[in-house]
Amino acid sequence: MSNSHDTHSATGHETHEHGAHHMPDPSIFPLVLAIGITLVALGTVLGLLVLIIGLIIFAIGMGGWLTEDTRTHLKARRQKQNH
């Protein structure tokens, strides 16, 4: 079946024309999240201050990534509805 409409593969992932999978845009937030997780882990050994800083960075990374992902999905949905 070769058409220009988006379809869902057997795995549930969106596929596009020619079977290509949608790749997310590059983001800094996975790195921020990883730094936060690392500082939380180090904070369990080094002290409460490092742990709190790690939790703050973790929250920023998680919130930013979720917000960015939500905006991307909403934008894609609007574009799909306009076609």
Quick one: which of 28, 26, 31 has its CA closest to 39?
31
Local structure of 21: helix, strand or coil: strand
Local confidence band at 4 (pLDDT 50, 70, 90 cut-offs): very low
- How is residue 23 annotated by DSSP? -
Its sign, for the CA torsion 33, 37, 42, 48, is positive
- Model confidence pLDDT, tens digit, residues 19-43: 666 677 789 999 999 999 999 999 9
Q: What is the CA radius of gyration of the chain?
A: 19
Local confidence band at 76 (pLDDT 50, 70, 90 cut-offs): confident
pTM for the complete prediction? 0.67
Task: Specify burial of residue 25 (Cβ count, 10 A radius: 0-12, 13-18, 19+).
Answer: exposed
